[in-house]
Structure 1
Amino acid sequence: MGDRFAGKVAAITGGASGIGLATAEALLAEGATVVVVDRDRAALAAIADRHGPSCIAQVTDLLDPASCDAMVPEILEKAGRIDILHCNAGSYIGGDLAETTPAAIDRMLNLNVNAVMKNVHAAIPHMSARGSGDIIVTCSVAGHSAIPWEPVYSGSKWAITCFVQTMRRQLMKQGIRVGQVSPGPVISALLADWPEENLRKAKENGALIEPSEVADAVLFMLSRPRNVTIRDMIVLPSNFDI
């Protein structure tokens, strides 16, 4: 237990599992109040019950426009402010483009790209008025390299890399730091759509990392002095070759 983030309020989308949950628990352990955002009401209730009053549940379906639009105002009503916004929610499509569907493509782009842009858009007035804030987006190594077995996912993450780095330049003079964390493959439900052979080989070769190892990178980024911005941190399993 520590107090590096005592007095800070963090909001984390996709916070009920995987990287989001690991980051929420790491921030809670360091004294932050954390608003855990997810559409899974039951999972949120269990997490909030486990961690006590410093953990605030926020039920939001980012794919529902009205719910997405209401997220930041509802967080501000519950927590009073947002010091840290971690846009972490996302989904995955693997395989050849011809194997997916237009509906699946729409869902991925709406969650991986559009919801991130809308969440950041909603948080900017609050952070700008206070002259301070941190925005972290979970990207991917797929946002830096064209991965042939995941063109839709990789395309969504290239879009996020561009968005994050343009927003970093727009907001730096307002006291708002913007950066992204770009993991390689992480042991989570997000890999359920990976080709079975790729997943098997990755597990056998030790080419996967734990969500907690990505959370460690996020806390490193957030704990730098205010005159330092970590614009991107690529976190790879040592045996992952891309």
Structure 2
Amino acid sequence: MGMSLNGKVAAVTGAASGIGLAITKDLLAEGVTVVMVDRDAESLAGLAAQLGRAAIPQVTDLLDPQSCKDMVPEILEKTGKIDILLCNAGSYIGGDLVDTTPEAIDQMVNLNVNAVIKNVRAVAPHMTQRKEGDIIVTCSIAGHTAIHVEPVYSASKWAITSFVQTMRRQLMQHGIRVAQVSPGPVISALLSDWEPERLQQMKDAGALMETQEVSDAMIFMLTRPRNVTIRDMIVLPSNFDI
């Protein structure tokens, strides 16, 4: 039987779309107050109005060092506590490395890796003091296998796999569960960089899944009894050949 999440406070990065929006809606349905973190102020305002008072908008640009640094303190000022941190925001680069710009590489690594590390560092003292908390990072199947058409993206997700599993061991003694969910290809804006032919081929083959499948996995992880940690859940479309 799952543990109730009612009354908890969650912060979800990248909450204005995709997996972030899906998990936001599911957490709200579980009775969780959700701080929706995103840089898109207009989308956040509209979604918060639709989703109700338990959805709290938090405009943060994770690529801006000061905005990223201010995120956790600003959330705590609004809510008083953070029970759950879902580091979900990310970006994608595919294709040959030589076709990628240095600027795009910096942006992706800063968002996929550096911002996650900074956010976890910021929330860890608060959760440690309270002796309880959950941190889940959206990783990828690319964090478990070297995908030759995604060298930069795969590198960032391998880094996250290492970071999550080391932090799990650092923080477990303080009652904090640290884990990741590693999806295969999901129909979302993250795949807007894919070649149209590849995207269509994957759709036709049934090798893409919806954001809801990833959200379901996160809810399962969060509702396990406190003596159980699902440290990594790999969620793949059944016809994804890897």
Same-fold call, TM > 0.5? yes
Gaps (5+ residues) in structure 1? none
Number of the residue aligned with 1:221:
221
Matches within 5 A, 1:1-242: 4-242=4-242
Give a deviation string over 1:31-79, Cα, whole Å, max 9, x none.
0000000000011001110111100000000000000000000000011
Name the aligned partner's letter for residue 237 of structure 1: P
So what's the TM-score if we normalise by structure 2?
A: 0.98
- Count of matched residue positions in the alignment of Structure 1 and Structure 2: 241
Name the aligned partner's letter for residue 117 of structure 2: M
Name the aligned partner's letter for residue 66 of structure 2: A
Deviation, 1:145, is 0.6
Name the aligned partner's letter for residue 212 of structure 1: Q
Counterparts of 1:188 and 1:179, CA distance in 2: 22
So what's the TM-score if we normalise by structure 1?
A: 0.98
Counterparts of 2:4 and 2:217, CA distance in 1: 15
Flag as ranges the 4+ runs of structure 1 deviating above 6 A.
none
User: Alignment identity in percent?
Assistant: 72
Q: Secondary structure, in 3 states, of the residue corresponding to 1:147?
A: coil
Name the aligned partner's letter for residue 132 of structure 1: E
Counterparts of 1:51 and 1:105, CA distance in 2: 35
Q: Secondary structure, in 3 states, of the residue corresponding to 1:63?
A: coil
- Tell me how large the CA RMSD over aligned residues is: 1.1
Q: Secondary structure, in 3 states, of the residue corresponding to 1:53?
A: coil
Deviation, 1:178, is 0.3
Q: Secondary structure, in 3 states, of the residue corresponding to 1:74?
A: helix
Deviation, 1:195, is 2.3
Gaps (5+ residues) in structure 2? none
Give a deviation string over 1:150-200, Cα, whole Å, max 9, x none.
100010000000000000000000000000000000000100111222211
Counterparts of 2:69 and 2:181, CA distance in 1: 24
Counterparts of 2:70 and 2:224, CA distance in 1: 31
